[in-house]
A and B are shown apart, each in its own frame.
Chain A
């Protein structure tokens, strides 16, 4: 009975979130298709539909040149759902497979950037909580904020310039046999700091921990001599981090577009840029949909973690 009491809200939350995810993915796919359908460049869509309908059992009567919106959308969505994203126009390889390869590289970049931000900002926020001086805190956060007000690519150039001048070293180039952590370092640092992630984690965590430690039940528990670390961790660190992650993950993907461009990182962001330039529609669409899917999965997971830690949240 006890287990049921926990499982029920969680499973309900999972179902709800899953439903929302499917709905959101559908809305996005739909709006993307609206854009596509009403684009001034009509042959682009026709060629694309022709390509994806090639290896599908299609109704012979379909006239792809003057297809109406509904049947075009149905054609497209069935192709997409059956995993058929067409072939890239520029190199003729299956679009989705390529996008996935690139996506894995981006995920590793983002993963390390998030890790690094945690490594930097958690001790930082501990420091802020500890000596509790509003002025230093303000100046510190303003300074960090200013860093994120510089355009990201300029910041990257500056860092490369400085690392060249000061350390006489340029640790950025990937060399397949020797590919090591150095290759990861600068892009990861820039992504963590330049996108403001470090700052936000610091601010949120220190604010939340302070707020929670002033709550009545914590004061009460501490007066009783009970350990409050678990509560503090849950409410002060885990929750804000999870919320932050699900709110900022899309923004991080946006920032990687710039970072990957500069550091020659073979990720989805660079792919998106290249395909936009060459109007490689099949590859662009599969990259966009994959990006949305990955972001949605991350948000879903963080929501699940939230519910697991705090089953009460499933009602919200």
Chain B
């Protein structure tokens, strides 16, 4: 047929043209992948803002570590190292601190403005401004006043002496000349999206995807960084991020999902580096529930759970099982308290002792009602291991005859149910700590109202008293003894089933060397990293 032929010829031309165009484009771009001297790293959360104060996202904090400096820093072995300050002195009452600043530091940017004491004063006042939105504000409340004695000397006076005052001065310094027209800082400030600092890398650009490009700062005062460019790429799907790493589209992944650790460990092209986080996971029991208010039942639930098996099956043993309310890396953790072993017989015995009656269908309480708890868990798409843990937990308790009603809630509703309404029996969560290891707000009975951290309504006068003592104490040794005692009591009382503190892993290609990773700051010594 005539028209068919015509039609066909017409299109064959067009089609072959377009297809060959496509192929040519593909080849072109395939050749240009992997520019040398550029480090691509993947994050699962896109950063919110890029200044060090307005965001709470870890990804933002990690980036600000590359862009900014503090007066002093804490290195990966928890030692204080000088950064923008060369040296410092302290008065005998430990309330006045004088810092001598480096003289040869300049801010990023073409104008090379020098860094001086006025920037420090400006930063403190900016963050202390009541309208500034920042999670760091409490830290700044410790400063009574700040004074620039001359261009390179700053004097701080503190409101009260405290245990580790020096760690107060790790805050990041902002440039006065860029921010002088701001009275306070919020997420809208253009500075928060195009920051300028003194750090090893300067901000170059970010696109709609929040893919952020940083350029090496050749004038960095601790030595010019070896890697020319660092590019941060956010991924919404962790599987794809891992795939990108294994096919060399990424050089580093900051937080490897537990399910990919095996695979990466076996791959000789990559190194995994573990970093301990000061955090732990737990199942929390609502003490408003009459049954869960009973210590024996809480202990029984802790005995019924095989934590070793879970840690092995879900995390490949990359973590430490804990016995009490502190992170095992911290000085407050009492190593003498041994974690409860898995013992389902003991669990059943304890439940019977608590007055529950065992029937073939499971435990019933004294009114003959089956024992049944609501376990409320947030839906977290990117954190599948949480789902596994709660499923396994449900399974363990089912085996000893306790029914668990698992409710998955969308994250915001979960927060509301747990923290505001205290409407749950059991929940699964994780606490993260800083160096202070303060558990006052978690277990003290005065924090049991809505949106406070003692959401389980835990009330133990002895614990309250010890917490008060610990807070008032200024002697490190004394505080440690109190905390060890607290650890003992809380381990026995089991308000939570303490699970474990996990080791997180960063993965990077072996093309990189000199990598050291700081537990939560991550890029602490990135200027020393280099490609082979």
Direct contact of A and B (CB under 8 A): yes
Question: Is A111 interfacial (CB-CB < 8 Å)?
Answer: no
In the complex, what residues of B have CB within 8 A of residue A273's CB? 236
In the complex, what residues of A have CB within 8 A of residue B32's CB? 177-178, 180
B209:A182 contact, CB within 8 angstroms: no
Name the one of B4, B30, B33, B247 contacting A164, with C-beta atoms under 8 angstroms.
B247
B4:A178 contact, CB within 8 angstroms: no
Shortest CB-to-CB span from A229 to chain B, Å, is 6
A182:B30 contact, CB within 8 angstroms: yes
Question: Is A263 interfacial (CB-CB < 8 Å)?
Answer: yes
B3:A232 contact, CB within 8 angstroms: yes
A105:B208 contact, CB within 8 angstroms: yes
Question: Is A35 interfacial (CB-CB < 8 Å)?
Answer: no
Most chain A CB neighbours (cut-off 10 Å) among B19, B40, B208: B208
Q: How many contacts between A and B, using CB within 8 angstroms? A: 132
B247:A170 contact, CB within 8 angstroms: yes
B243:A164 contact, CB within 8 angstroms: yes
Name the one of B2, B210, B250, B381 contacting A222, with C-beta atoms under 8 angstroms.
B2
B250:A173 contact, CB within 8 angstroms: yes
In the complex, what residues of B have CB within 8 A of residue A122's CB? 11, 15
Shortest CB-to-CB span from A117 to chain B, Å, is 12
Type the 1/0 row for B244-266, where 1 means its CB is closer than 8 Å to any CB of A.
10110110000000000000000
Name the one of A160, A169, A229 contacting B240, with C-beta atoms under 8 angstroms.
A160
In the complex, what residues of B have CB within 8 A of residue A126's CB? 4, 7-8, 11
Q: A180-B32, A222-B2, A264-B240 are in contact. Are A175 and B40 (CB under 8 A)?
A: yes
Cα(A171)–Cα(B188), bound, Å: 36
Cα(A266)–Cα(B210), bound, Å: 9
A263:B19 contact, CB within 8 angstroms: no
Chain A at the B interface: SS class: helix
Shortest CB-to-CB span from B27 to chain A, Å, is 9
Cα(A28)–Cα(B184), bound, Å: 40
In the complex, what residues of A have CB within 8 A of residue B240's CB? 160, 172, 262-264
Q: Which of A6-14, A84-92, A248-256 contacts B (4 or more CB under 8 A)?
A: A84-92
Q: A160-B240, A172-B240, A173-B250 are in contact. Are A181 and B22 (CB under 8 A)?
A: yes
In the complex, what residues of A have CB within 8 A of residue B249's CB? 170, 172-173, 175
Cα(A176)–Cα(B204), bound, Å: 12
Question: Is A102 interfacial (CB-CB < 8 Å)?
Answer: yes
Cα(A180)–Cα(B231), bound, Å: 17
Shortest CB-to-CB span from B212 to chain A, Å, is 10
Name the one of B186, B210, B243 contacting A170, with C-beta atoms under 8 angstroms.
B243
Question: Is A185 interfacial (CB-CB < 8 Å)?
Answer: yes
In the complex, what residues of A have CB within 8 A of residue B8's CB? 123, 126, 130
Cα(A183)–Cα(B26), bound, Å: 9
Type the 1/0 row for A240-277, where 1 means its CB is closer than 8 Å to any CB of B.
00000000000000000000011110100010011001
B2:A176 contact, CB within 8 angstroms: no
Most chain A CB neighbours (cut-off 10 Å) among B12, B211, B410, B411: B211
B35:A178 contact, CB within 8 angstroms: yes
Shortest CB-to-CB span from B417 to chain A, Å, is 13
Name the one of B40, B209, B244, B250 contacting A266, with C-beta atoms under 8 angstroms.
B209
In the complex, what residues of B have CB within 8 A of residue A209's CB? 7
Question: Is B28 interfacial (CB-CB < 8 Å)?
Answer: yes
B4:A129 contact, CB within 8 angstroms: yes
A229:B6 contact, CB within 8 angstroms: yes
In the complex, what residues of B have CB within 8 A of residue A180's CB? 25-26, 28-30, 32
Name the one of A90, A185, A213 contacting B48, with C-beta atoms under 8 angstroms.
A90
Shortest CB-to-CB span from B50 to chain A, Å, is 11
Closest to B213 in A: A176
Cα(A231)–Cα(B29), bound, Å: 41
Most chain B CB neighbours (cut-off 10 Å) among A183, A213, A266: A266
B208:A101 contact, CB within 8 angstroms: yes
Cα(A115)–Cα(B412), bound, Å: 41
Question: Is B494 interfacial (CB-CB < 8 Å)?
Answer: no
Using a CB-CB cutoff of 8 Å, which residues 111-164 of chain A contact chain B? 115, 119, 122-123, 126, 129-130, 157, 160, 164
In the complex, what residues of B have CB within 8 A of residue A172's CB? 240, 243-244, 249
B236:A170 contact, CB within 8 angstroms: no
Shortest CB-to-CB span from A18 to chain B, Å, is 31
Shortest CB-to-CB span from A239 to chain B, Å, is 16
Cα(A13)–Cα(B207), bound, Å: 41
A176:B3 contact, CB within 8 angstroms: no
Closest to B237 in A: A262
Type the 1/0 row for B291-314, where 1 means its CB is closer than 8 Å to any CB of A.
000000000000000000000000
Name the one of B3, B207, B234 contacting A213, with C-beta atoms under 8 angstroms.
B3
Q: A173-B249, A181-B29 are in contact. Are A119 and B18 (CB under 8 A)?
A: yes
In the complex, what residues of B have CB within 8 A of residue A129's CB? 4, 7
Question: Is B233 interfacial (CB-CB < 8 Å)?
Answer: yes
In the complex, what residues of B have CB within 8 A of residue A222's CB? 2-3
Question: Is B358 interfacial (CB-CB < 8 Å)?
Answer: no
Question: Is B176 interfacial (CB-CB < 8 Å)?
Answer: no
Shortest CB-to-CB span from A219 to chain B, Å, is 11
Cα(A249)–Cα(B234), bound, Å: 28
B3:A228 contact, CB within 8 angstroms: yes
Cα(A181)–Cα(B193), bound, Å: 29
In the complex, what residues of A have CB within 8 A of residue B193's CB? 93
Name the one of B15, B26, B213 contacting A185, with C-beta atoms under 8 angstroms.
B26
Question: Is B97 interfacial (CB-CB < 8 Å)?
Answer: no
Q: A122-B15, A175-B249, A182-B30 are in contact. Are A91 and B25 (CB under 8 A)?
A: no
Question: Is A174 interfacial (CB-CB < 8 Å)?
Answer: yes
Shortest CB-to-CB span from A92 to chain B, Å, is 4
Q: A123-B12, A277-B411 are in contact. Are A169 and B207 (CB under 8 A)?
A: no
A173:B244 contact, CB within 8 angstroms: yes
Question: Is B95 interfacial (CB-CB < 8 Å)?
Answer: no
Closest to A277 in B: B411
Name the one of B35, B211, B237, B239 contacting A174, with C-beta atoms under 8 angstroms.
B211
B15:A123 contact, CB within 8 angstroms: yes
In the complex, what residues of A have CB within 8 A of residue B387's CB? none
Q: A173-B244, A264-B237 are in contact. Are A183 and B29 (CB under 8 A)?
A: yes
Question: Is A279 interfacial (CB-CB < 8 Å)?
Answer: yes
Q: What are 13 A-B contacts defined by CB distance under 8 Å?
A: A87-B188, A91-B48, A98-B208, A122-B11, A123-B11, A129-B7, A170-B247, A177-B32, A178-B33, A181-B29, A182-B25, A264-B235, A277-B410
Residues of A within 8 A of B (CB): 87, 90-93, 98, 101-102, 105, 115, 119, 122-123, 126, 129-130, 157, 160, 164, 168-183, 185, 209, 213, 222, 228-229, 232, 261-264, 266, 270, 273-274, 277-279
Residues of B within 8 A of A (CB): 1-4, 6-8, 11-12, 15, 18-19, 22, 25-26, 28-30, 32-33, 35, 38, 40, 48-49, 186-188, 193, 205, 207-211, 213, 231, 233-237, 239-240, 243-244, 246-247, 249-250, 381, 410-412
Nearest first, the 5 A-B pairs at minimum CB distance are: A180-B29, A266-B209, A170-B247, A181-B25, A92-B187
